[in-house]
A = this chain, B = another copy of it.
Amino acid sequence: MIIMNKILVVEDEKAIATLIKMNLIKAGYQCDIAYSGNEGADRLSENTYDLCLFDIMLPEINGYELLSYAKSLDIPVIFVTAKGETLDKVKGLKSGADDYITKPFEVLELLARVENVLKRFNKTDRFIKTSGLDIDTVARIVKKDGEILKLTYKEFDLLLLFARNPGTALYRETIYEHVWDSEYMGDSRTVDLHVQRLRKKAGLEKSIEAVYKIGYRFVPEDRI
């Protein structure tokens, strides 16, 4: 099952947009183009992307506004700026972009940055970094400040479920069915107890919040 990362490029200069798209596709990504801020916002609301590349100077909605929208969806953003726009560059990073690249750019540099940001946001599978934890999903090892945490089987699966669904309100039923792999019988406190244990062991007291009447939601500390 091949999962390609999906990237949205918002850039009003067609030549550059096409150049970027071609190279991204060649490198194995899926890629959509939008030629204006408005179009970009539409795409964002219609699809799920793993990464966005935004020009700052855009017709209608500008790059900064798109940025905050993308961030609200928890999608990393790389700004693509024209050479002179140094002021914008600073502003861009300050305003929360995850990287930037100046036009004209080397294709290889672009790809390297793309790959880097995707990795940082663990949009690639094996390693997940979140809330101060380093999770190796294959080795089933979790590190905090370089120290290995002794998580039990269930605790690890639970953590993984949370890490892979940040920001989502997970129903007790959903949690139970994922981690225990069997049907949920309404009233048990089992899920709650395991959440409490995980919180304590992994120092996630603040990151895993209870959603009253529903279950729990994982909000990574690096992004509150």
Contacts and interface: CB of A to CB of B under 8 A. Distances in A.
A30 B168 CA distance: 14
Interface in A109-133: 127
A83 interface: no
A161 to B, nearest CB: 10
A68 interface: yes
Contacts of A73: 127
A22 B181 CA distance: 9
Contact of A146 (B45, B68, B136, B211): B68
Interface in A1-48: 1, 4, 22, 25-26, 28, 30, 45
A223 B72 CA distance: 18
A199 interface: no
A143 B25 contact: no
Contacts of A188: none
A30 B173 CA distance: 9
A138 interface: yes
6 contacts: A25-B174, A25-B178, A72-B146, A136-B167, A139-B168, A140-B214
